């Protein structure tokens, strides 16, 4: 066969891309997403010259320009490109930032990957269709198994901050769950094929593993997506088999039975689940996370009204979240949102109504193609219904989240299937190129890819490794970490200038927190830091977060050098006020500057002015508490310290907790004492002496559920406490009876 060995190479590169969601390399900064996305894009680029060779040498390999799915997909991508070129931050639209790598660069690679899959489907037909489904289901099953073992504490958690929710190999439970949704339906698809009995049972068990993986991720959006997908599949089967009344009747009975059992089980779990469990999280939708979603969505709608036709450009939602920020979001976190946590609203706000229309048409063509795929003869109606169910499950999930790499990769599989099922049978009128061109063009493209790898990929990967090395070295040898960090951006291509800025920022912050004297005289680092932030704000002048960090740098340098704060800090603070009028970080910084000048009363006035906008901002509450404490106003200091802790401020000084506990002990305020002790064992989980006290306080308040929970946590951490814990639980039960 002509070019057979090149076809095997091409096939190998494409199949390798299937496994990129499982990659995790701890030696780079952002080891989860950076590893997966960079490797995926690299594989797609390496395969591109081969793809062109196959297209140029054989016209039959070319996709049909009459394919409605391909046309609509192309229009979506073109619309994103066009609106981004006219958007507010073109570089961010194309490449994203280090924390959220991707942008249109990744979208283009996904589009090309779809064409690769379509080509192989043309070669291998239904055989490759099954290969895609099997590999997707098995890789997702591997990730789900790791997540289950992580939940059972058999495998280590790679993202402990999310526990007890499992993150598997993805660094985030939502990213993990996103990867399982469509493969769950692929596994169901395989379980009803005419394989051997052993294979059928294997895929049934795999379906259960995938479902359990979704449960331990604690991701409600994905769980709702699965339910919607199953109902959609059932409905599709019902209507597709409208001539077979007996099967319809049987399906109705089964569906009704499953619904009754499911609703009953949901009600039981909702009623009986403890507040700290995953079942409680999945069965309750009135949490702070749900409230945050509504705030995000409202911000998105308000922002869209400003640019309704073309939006602000792909990946540029940050300008909307800064401008229309809702201070109620400070209740849970002080993050700078860059996503509306709804993929459709993100498309609307960043690409405008134009892109959303194209995207909606694209989805309609995909859904139609999958639902009618049984007409091709290789699939039956149940198969088509399951593919359609997986499609709707994914769309439901991204209503509550946003497209992430791992989940979008599985969506691309469905897009490819829809493309394949929609390919017109007649061939295009193909243009024949001279033989020399068919060889030279792929060679030139290969040289271009090699240059891009050398000039872009390698410098970017080096910067990620250096950044990680700097963070790893920071605690043991701060000076060495400072020297290492200066290498970031010195290799040519700079993907994101904020990477070096962020590393410098954290280095200086660490030095101040740990009183590292070398930082005071390290003028080189301070100069590099200011220069880096100057470049960052010049390239992204509308990003309020960067201006805030820039102002903080000026203040930190003034602290280190014991000099007045540079005028640049005030200019940066003014930019924060202008770009993010509803955020209160500017008040926080101005208040701190006044306090350092000795103007405590003015510092208090500014902080209180900020709290009128955002009463729950933890840092503002904390600085206000410290001001009152310095003025020996104990009641005010205690009030604001408690409020800061109640709004999730992280305080690592035990003495502050002891002082506040003593304050409320004198006032016999058991409810506040319970909250304080709970924060203490959360912050200092190995301080076992606080567990019995907290359990006793809960018991005195009549909160037996939490008293029992804390006692069992103590027993798990300290088996030697078994006798005292059992006695406590026995007394608790006797009191309850």
* pLDDT, tens digit (0-9, with 9 covering 90-100), for 193-222: 866 778 888 999 999 999 999 999 988 889
Q: Annotate 499-516 with b (16+ C-beta within 10 A) or e (fewer).
A: bbbbbbbbbbebbeeeeb
**439 vs 329: CA distance, rounded Å:** 57
pLDDT at 126 over 60: yes
CATH of the domain at 691: 1.25.40.10
Cβ-Cβ contacts under 8 Å for 591 (sequence gap 6 or more): 603, 604, 606, 607, 610, 620, 623
Q: How far is CA 31 from the centre of its chain?
A: 13
Number of neighbouring beta carbons within 10 Å of residue 559: 16
Burial of 681 (0-12, 13-18, 19+ CB in 10 A): buried
CA dist., res. 720 & res. 14, Å (int): 55
Q: What percent of the chain lies above the pLDDT cut of 90?
A: 51
Per the CB < 8 A criterion, the answer to whether 276 and 66 are in contact is no
- List the single range of 235-244, 307-316, 392-401, 680-689 with lowest mean pLDDT: 235-244
Regarding whether 449 and 315 lie in a shared domain, the answer is: no
pLDDT in tens, 157-189: 888 888 888 999 999 999 999 999 999 999 999
Joined together, the tokens standing for residue 19 give 């496994």
Tens digits of residue pLDDT in 479-519: 899 889 889 888 888 888 889 889 988 988 888 888 887 66
Alpha helices in 241-342 (DSSP H): 245-272, 278-283, 288-304, 318-323
Q: Which of 145, 148, 141 is nearest to 190 (CA)?
A: 141
- pLDDT, tens digit, 9 for 90 and up, residues 696-730: 888 888 888 888 888 888 888 888 888 888 888 88
Neighbours of 562 (CB within 10 A): 8
Q: What is the average pLDDT across 131-154?
A: 95
3-state helix, strand, coil in the chain (%, to 5): 75, 0, 25
Q: Are residues 311 and 446 in the same domain?
A: no
* Residue 57 to residue 54: CA distance in whole angstroms: 5
Instruction: Please tell me the predicted confidence (pLDDT) of residue 394.
Output: 97
| Statement to judge: residues 132 and 73 lie in one domain | yes
Q: Cα–Cα distances in Å, from 31 out to 185, 448, 464, 465?
A: 29, 27, 9, 10
Domain match, 153 and 37 both: no
Question: What is the average pLDDT across 71-86?
Answer: 96
Of 736 and 461, the structure prediction assigns the larger pLDDT to: 461
Asked if residue 501 belongs to a domain, the reply is no
Q: Choose one of 412, 441, 475: the last residue of a domain.
A: 475
CB 203 within 8 A of CB 134: no
Tell me, yes or no, whether 332 and 438 share the same domain. Answer: no
Q: Among 396, 422, 448, where does a domain finish?
A: 422
Is pLDDT above 50 for 1? no
Q: Using DSSP, how many helices (H) and how many strands (E) does the chain show?
A: 32, 0
Residues 418 and 444 in one domain: no
Tokens of 441: 């063009």
Average pLDDT, the chain: 88
Tokens 């990213």 sit on residue:
175
- Pair 415, 466 in one domain: no
Provide the token pair at 343: 């993929």
405 burial via Cβ count (<10 Å: 0-12, 13-18, 19+):
buried
- DSSP secondary structure, 553-585, as one string: HHHHHHHHHT-PPPHHHHHHHHHHHHH-TT--H
State both tokens at 524: 């080189």
| pLDDT exceeds 50 at position 123 | yes
Q: Cis omega before residue 164 (within 30°)?
A: yes
* Domain total in the chain: 3
721 lies in which domain range? 651-737
Same domain, 347 and 271: yes
Whether 247 is covered by a domain: the verdict is yes
Sign of CA dihedral 699, 700, 702, 706: negative
Selection from 530, 476, 522 nearest residue 505 by Cα: 530
Is the pLDDT at 231 greater than 50? The verdict is yes
On whether residue 498 sits in a domain, the answer given is no
Are 284 and 155 contained in the same domain?
A: yes
Q: Which residues contact 554 (CB under 8 A, 6 or more apart)?
A: 530, 565, 566, 568, 569, 572
Same-domain pairing of 323 and 211: yes
Mean pLDDT of 593-606: 92
Domain annotation covers residue 265: yes
**In the prediction, which pLDDT does 276 show?**
62
pLDDT at 248 over 70: no
Determine phi and psi for 199, rounding to 5 degrees: -65, -40
pLDDT band at 252 (very low <50, low <70, confident <90, very high): low
Task: Write out pLDDT tens, residues 361-407.
Answer: 999 999 999 999 988 878 888 899 999 999 999 999 999 988 899 99
Task: List pLDDT tens digits, range 600-615.
Answer: 999 999 999 999 999 9
- Do the beta carbons of residue 355 and residue 376 sit within 8 Å? no
Angle at 459 between CA 455 and CA 463, to 5 degrees: 165
Q: Within this chain, do residues 35 and 62 fall inside the same structural domain, yes or no? A: no
Average pLDDT of 127-149? 95
Domain membership of residue 137 (yes or no) is yes
Say whether both 43 and 143 belong to one domain.
no
Confidence check: pLDDT of 320 > 90: yes
With CA atoms as reference, report the closest residue to 678 among 690, 660, 667. Answer: 690
Per residue in 415-466, pLDDT (tens digit) is 999 999 998 876 555 667 677 777 788 888 889 899 999 988 999 999 999 9
Residue 332 resides in a domain: yes
Q: Please identify which residue in the block is written with the tokens 């979704």.
A: 214
Instruction: Confirm whether 108 is domain-assigned.
Output: yes
Q: Which of 403, 422, 441 is the last residue of a domain?
A: 422
Tens of pLDDT, residues 3-62? 688 899 999 999 999 999 999 898 888 889 999 999 999 999 999 999 999 988 888 888
Q: Which residue has the tokens 């394919």?
A: 67
Residue 580 CA to residue 603 CA, distance in Å, equals 21
pLDDT digits 0-9 by tens, 461-480: 999 999 999 999 988 888 89
Query: Does residue 303 surpass a pLDDT of 50?
Result: yes
Residue 143's H or E segment, with its range, is: helix 126-151
List of E strands, 108-165: none
């Amino acid at each position: 066969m002509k070019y057979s060995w090149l076809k095997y190479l091409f096939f190998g590169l494409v199949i390798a891309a299937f496994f990129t969601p499982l990659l995790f390399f701890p030696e780079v900064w952002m080891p989860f997403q950076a590893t997966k996305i960079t490797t995926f894009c690299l594989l797609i680029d390496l395969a591109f010259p081969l793809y062109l060779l196959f297209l140029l040498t054989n016209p039959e390999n070319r996709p049909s320009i009459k394919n409605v799915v391909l046309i609509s997909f192309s229009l979506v991508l073109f619309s994103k490109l066009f609106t981004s070129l006219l958007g507010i931050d073109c570089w961010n639209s194309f490449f994203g930032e280090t924390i959220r790598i991707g942008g249109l660069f990744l979208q283009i690679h996904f589009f090309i990957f779809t064409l690769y899959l379509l080509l192989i489907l043309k070669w291998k037909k239904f055989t490759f269709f099954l290969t895609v489904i099997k590999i997707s289901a098995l890789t997702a099953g591997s990730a789900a198994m790791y997540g289950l073992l992580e939940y059972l504490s058999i495998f280590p958690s790679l993202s402990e901050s999310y526990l007890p929710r499992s993150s598997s190999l993805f660094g985030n439970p939502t990213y993990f769950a996103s990867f399982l949704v469509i493969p769950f339906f692929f596994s169901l698809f395989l379980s009803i094929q005419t394989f051997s009995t052993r294979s059928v049972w294997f895929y049934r068990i795999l379906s259960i593993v995938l479902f359990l993986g979704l449960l331990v991720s604690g991701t409600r959006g994905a769980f709702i997506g699965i339910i919607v997908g199953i109902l959609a599949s059932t409905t599709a089967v019902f209507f597709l088999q409208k001539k077979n009344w007996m099967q319809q009747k049987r399906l109705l009975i089964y569906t009704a039975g499953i619904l009754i059992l499911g609703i009953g089980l949901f009600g039981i779990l909702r009623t009986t689940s403890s507040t700290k469990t995953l079942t409680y999280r999945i069965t309750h939708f009135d949490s702070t996370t749900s409230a945050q979603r509504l705030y995000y969505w409202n911000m998105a709608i308000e922002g869209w009204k400003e640019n309704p036709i073309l939006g602000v450009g792909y990946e540029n939602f940050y300008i909307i979240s800064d401008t229309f920020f809702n201070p109620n979001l400070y209740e849970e976190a002080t993050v700078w949102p860059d996503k509306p946590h709804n993929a459709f609203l993100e498309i609307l706000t960043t690409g405008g109504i134009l892109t959303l229309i194209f995207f909606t048409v694209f989805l309609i063509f995909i859904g139609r193609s999958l639902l009618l795929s049984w007409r091709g003869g290789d699939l039956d109606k149940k198969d088509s219904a399951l593919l359609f169910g997986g499609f709707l499950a994914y769309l439901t999930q991204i209503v509550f989240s946003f497209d992430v790499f791992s989940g979008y990769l599985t969506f691309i599989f469905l897009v490819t299937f829809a493309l394949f099922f929609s390919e017109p049978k007649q061939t295009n009128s193909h243009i024949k190129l001279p033989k020399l061109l068919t060889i030279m063009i792929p060679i030139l493209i290969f040289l271009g890819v090699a240059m891009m790898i050398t000039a872009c990929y390698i410098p970017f990967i080096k910067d990620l490794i250096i950044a990680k090395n700097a963070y790893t070295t920071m605690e043991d040898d701060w000076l060495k970490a400072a020297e290492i960090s200066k290498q970031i951006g010195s290799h040519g291509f700079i993907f994101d200038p904020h990477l070096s800025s962020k590393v410098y920022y954290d280095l200086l912050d660490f030095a101040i927190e740990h009183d590292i004297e070398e930082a005071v005289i390290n003028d080189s680092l301070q100069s590099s830091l200011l220069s880096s932030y100057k470049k960052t704000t010049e390239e992204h002048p509308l990003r309020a977060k960067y201006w805030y960090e820039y102002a903080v740098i000026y203040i930190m340098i003034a602290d280190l050098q014991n000099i007045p704060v540079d005028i640049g800090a005030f200019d940066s603070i003014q930019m924060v006020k202008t770009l993010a009028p509803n955020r209160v970080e500017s008040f926080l910084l101005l208040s701190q500057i006044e306090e350092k000048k000795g103007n405590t009363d003015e510092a208090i006035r500014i902080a209180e002015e900020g709290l009128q906008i955002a009463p729950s901002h933890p840092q503002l509450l904390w600085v206000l508490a410290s001001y009152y404490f310095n003025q020996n106003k104990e009641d005010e200091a205690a009030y604001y310290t408690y409020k800061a802790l109640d709004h999730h401020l992280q305080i690592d000084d035990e003495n502050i907790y002891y002082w506040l506990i003593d304050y409320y002990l004198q006032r016999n305020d058991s409810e506040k004492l319970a909250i304080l002790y709970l924060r203490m064992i959360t912050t200092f989980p190995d301080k076992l002496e606080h567990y019995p006290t907290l359990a006793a306080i809960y018991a005195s308040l009549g909160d037996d559920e939490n008293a029992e929970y804390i006692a069992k946590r103590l027993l798990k951490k300290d088996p030697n406490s078994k006798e005292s814990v059992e006695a406590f639980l026995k007394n608790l039960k006797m009191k309850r009876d």
